[in-house]
Amino acid sequence: MLTIEALTVSYGKRLVLTEVSLEVNSGEVVALIGPNGAGKSTLLRAVSGIIPAQGGKVRMNGEDLLARTAMQRARCLAVVPQAVSMPPAFTVWETVLMGRTPYLNFLGQVSTKDEEIARLALDRVDALELAERRVGELSGGEQQRVLLARALAQSTPILLLDEPTSNLDLHYQVSFMETVSSLARQDNLAVLVALHDLNLAARYSDRVALLVDGEIKASGTPRQVLTPELISAVYHLPVQVIPHPFADVPLVLPGRG
Amino acid sequence: MSRRTLPYLWTLLFLALAVILSIAIGSVFIPPADLWRILTGSFSGAALPEPLKTFAFIITSIRLPRTVLVLLTGAALSGSGAAYQGLFRNPLADPYLIGVASGAGLGAVLAMSIQWPYSFWGLMAVPLASFVGALLTVFLVYALARVGKAVPKTNLILAGVAFSSFAGALTSFLMLRSTGELRRAISWLLGGASQAGWGPVLTILPYVVIGLGILLLSGHTLNLLQFGDDQAQQLGLPVSRRRALILMAASLATAAAVSFSGIIGFVGLIVPHVMRLWFGADYRRLVPLSIIAGAGALLVADVIARSVLSPQEIPLGIVTALVGAPFFLWVLRRAKNQGFW
């Protein structure tokens, strides 16, 4: 279980996150939504220890993750970044094996157990047949799956994803989120995923947290958070919310009725 | 032969040939048969006939130390070039372009101007001063090029080149002021391994071994850094600590190379690039291959430097630029694999 307690981050004098608190239970997908510049990426970066927090704690089952070393933290929490500017030099296999880094020595020597875990991770995201290909040659959707496999290879109970679907086409967006939500259930992972697309968030998350100007404005089930009043006000755009034609989730449509 | 070992065999073969060439060729011609007898004789300890003694002296006291010095220099420059490129994720980073070599040169000249007539401690002080100069340069150039958290590629090169000119000017000024052997200093500056004997070799050996040793073990770290600092850290790498370690090691190797062989450009840039084009950019392989091939390449350049205007020598730095740059352009033109960076 991931617990974020009153996390505060500022760049210089500007407060980017103000006492953000959020819980993600094991086996649960929480979608982090909010307009551009709300601090979604900053929150994920602060939680993963890339940027320092001025206040607050990030806990996994009670222990403070920010007080740990990078290596210890990487055994608790894995991050799937956006697949942009991937180094072309490495194969998919080599890239996924790098997910084992927190368990490796200085030289990065891998054991057969590490290889087994990497193979399993690739299999989980249906990318086993890509193993020998170079990461730079892959399509955006394939690269994103490889990065998910690398995070899975870290064998962590917590998974953070930073707008993983932004550069994907419709097919890949859906299949990627399907994979993420089934992983959360099967492996009992606590998943926090920043998403642009409100309907993807509604469809594939158990709870939604709405971040506006560095503060959590609302959190709860998609139905509780994705209301026309709230979304219209936050995104400065009139929206309609209608029931999804075949899933039991709300559907957000921009524009007046 | 497996795909993994073949690149090592090729580069080692190249290095072996370069070493033989470097020992065999010089202003005095030594017939191959005599060369063989001297080399085997010096290993078995058998007495040599009188006429071969001069040749033996030339080889063990002049050519062999020079060969080893050039070999170490090439290995150090090329290995640290590969490391700088990986560290800064910048294809243009090399000890020369980012100013480290000039900074090391300034440090060395400062030490020389204090202890110009060589004493043992004077000799030891040169690589140390050179190392301090190199490290100060790295931190200064890095700080100057930095914008917020990022270090843009062009900024790094611009800061490096600017600092390089500054350090170069200071170096020239110091040499003009010094009463010592100006000619020798100038030829040193242009990259001539003109210091003879085993002294310089033994002085820089520990620096090169420690520096390159750390770099050889840093392949995994450099690979992770290719994904950017953020991802590397999220994968569990203590980024700033490892970065500092590699920076120190590469600067140590560069400083050692510069302190007795002068400022030799292009080796640290070209050799790693050619290795990357031919054998891929996995740093666990790229660093050792660059070290081996860099040693060989500089030896070949040194042979050319000694033989073109024989018995006169031309500075090594001139040869590396004259031969290296066109060769590099030719390789780049032919490269089918465009995505090597």
Contact A81 B230 (CB under 8 A): yes
Contact B228 A49 (CB under 8 A): no
Contact B220 A70 (CB under 8 A): no
- How large is the greatest C-alpha to C-alpha distance in chain A, in angstroms? 61
Query: In angstroms, rounded to a whole number, what is the distance separating the alpha carbons of residues A222 and A201?
Result: 8
Contact B233 A50 (CB under 8 A): yes
What is the reported pLDDT for B168?
87
Residue B237 confidence (pLDDT) above 60: yes
What is the reported pLDDT for B129?
86
What is the reported pLDDT for B196?
62
B64 touching A (Cβ < 8 Å): no
Mean pLDDT across chain B, nearest whole number?
83
Task: Tell me which chain A residues have a C-beta less than 8 angstroms from the C-beta of B233.
Answer: 49-50, 70
What is the percentage of chain B residues whose pLDDT exceeds 70?
85
Query: In angstroms, rounded to a whole number, what is the distance separating the alpha carbons of residues A93 and A79?
Result: 18
Residue B231 confidence (pLDDT) above 90: yes
Phi, psi of A184 (to 5 degrees): -55, -45
Query: In angstroms, rounded to a whole number, what is the distance separating the alpha carbons of residues B267 and B328?
Result: 10
Question: Closest chain A residue to B149 measured between Cα atoms?
Answer: A51
CB nearest A102 (choices: B231, B236, B239):
B236
Query: Which residue's entry shows tokens 């700080």?
Result: B143
What is the reported pLDDT for B192?
52
What is the reported pLDDT for A102?
95
Task: Tell me which chain B residues have a C-beta less than 8 angstroms from the C-beta of A70.
Answer: 233, 236-239
Give the number of beta-carbon pairs within 8 Å between A and B. Answer: 79
Return all residues near B324 (Cβ < 8 A) that are at least 6 apart. B266, B267, B270, B297, B301
What is the reported pLDDT for B150?
67
Query: In angstroms, rounded to a whole number, what is the distance separating the alpha carbons of residues B193 and B174?
Result: 20
- Enter the CATH code of domain B6-340: 1.10.3470.10
A42 touching B (Cβ < 8 Å): no
Residue B194 confidence (pLDDT) above 80: no
B227 touching A (Cβ < 8 Å): yes
- Test the A interface: residue of B88, B234, B337 with most A CBs within 10 Å: B234
CA B313 to chain centre: 19
Question: Closest chain B residue to A86 measured between Cα atoms?
Answer: B227
Average pLDDT over residues B212-220: 96
**DSSP code string of B179-194:** -S-HHHHHHHHT----
HSE of A114 in the Cβ direction (CA atoms, 13 Å)? Answer: 19
DSSP class of A134: B
Query: In angstroms, rounded to a whole number, what is the distance separating the alpha carbons of residues B107 and B105?
Result: 5
For A91, A134, A169, B169, B225, the CA distances from A131, given in Å and listed in that order, are 7, 8, 22, 53, 21
Return all residues near B249 (Cβ < 8 A) that are at least 6 apart. B80, B83, B210, B211, B212, B213, B214, B215, B218
B213 touching A (Cβ < 8 Å): no
CB nearest B339 (choices: A88, A98, A107):
A88
Cis before B311? omega within 30: yes
Average pLDDT over residues B161-185: 77
Residue B176 confidence (pLDDT) above 70: yes
Query: Which residue's entry shows tokens 């892959």?
Result: A138
Query: In angstroms, rounded to a whole number, what is the distance separating the alpha carbons of residues A59 and B242?
Result: 26
Query: In angstroms, rounded to a whole number, what is the distance separating the alpha carbons of residues A235 and A238?
Result: 8
**Structure token pair of residue B303:** 């042979």
Question: Closest chain B residue to A108 measured between Cα atoms?
Answer: B220
Sign of the Cα torsion A164, A77, B86, B88 reads positive
CB nearest B224 (choices: A69, A88, A98):
A98
Contact B282 A81 (CB under 8 A): no
CATH topology of domain A2-254: Rossmann fold (3.40.50)
What is the reported pLDDT for B117?
53
> pLDDT tens digit string along A13-68?
889 999 999 999 999 999 999 999 899 999 999 999 999 899 999 999 989 999 99
What is the rounded end-to-end Cα distance, in angstroms, of chain B? 27
Confidence band for B289, pLDDT divided at 50, 70 and 90: very high
Question: Closest chain A residue to B239 measured between Cα atoms?
Answer: A70
- 3-state helix, strand, coil split of chain B in percent (to 5) is 75, 0, 25
Q: Please state whether beta strands A190-194 and A28-33 pair in parallel, antiparallel, or not at all (unpaired).
A: parallel
ipTM over 0.95: no
Task: Tell me which chain B residues have a C-beta less than 8 angstroms from the C-beta of A162.
Answer: none
> pLDDT tens digit string along A114-144?
999 999 999 999 999 999 999 988 998 999 9
A94 touching B (Cβ < 8 Å): yes
Can you name the residues that pair with A5 across neighbouring β-strands? A57
- Selected residue with higher pLDDT from B334 and B216: B216
Please answer whether residues B71 and B65 qualify as being in contact, where contact means their C-beta atoms are separated by less than 8 angstroms.
no
Task: Tell me which chain B residues have a C-beta less than 8 angstroms from the C-beta of A85.
Answer: 228
> pLDDT tens digit string along B118-166?
566 666 777 788 889 998 998 898 888 887 766 776 788 788 889 999 9
Average pLDDT over residues A157-176: 92
Which alpha helices (H) appear in chain A, and where do they start and end?
40-47, 70-74, 92-97, 112-124, 140-153, 170-187, 198-204, 222-225, 228-235
**DSSP code string of A193-255:** EE-S-HHHHHHH-SEEEEEETTEEEEEE-HHHH--HHHHHHHHTS-EEEEE-SSSSSEEEEES
> pLDDT tens digit string along A58-113?
999 989 999 999 999 999 999 999 888 788 889 999 999 999 999 999 888 999 99
Phi, psi of B147 (to 5 degrees): -120, 105
Query: Which residue's entry shows tokens 């000799």?
Result: B123
Return all residues near A234 (Cβ < 8 A) that are at least 6 apart. A34, A35, A210, A212, A217
A156 touching B (Cβ < 8 Å): no
B282 touching A (Cβ < 8 Å): yes
What is the reported pLDDT for B187?
57
Under DSSP, is residue B25 helix (H, G, I), strand (E, B) or coil?
A: coil
What is the reported pLDDT for B99?
87
Domain assignments of chain B as residue spans, ordered by start: 6-340
- Test the A interface: residue of B153, B225, B229, B235 with most A CBs within 10 Å: B235
Domain assignments of chain A as residue spans, ordered by start: 2-254
CB nearest A106 (choices: B217, B339, B341):
B217
Task: Please state, as a whole number, how many other Cβ atoms lie within 10 Å of the Cβ of residue A226.
Answer: 24
What is the reported pLDDT for B105?
87
Please answer whether residues B79 and B291 qualify as being in contact, where contact means their C-beta atoms are separated by less than 8 angstroms.
yes
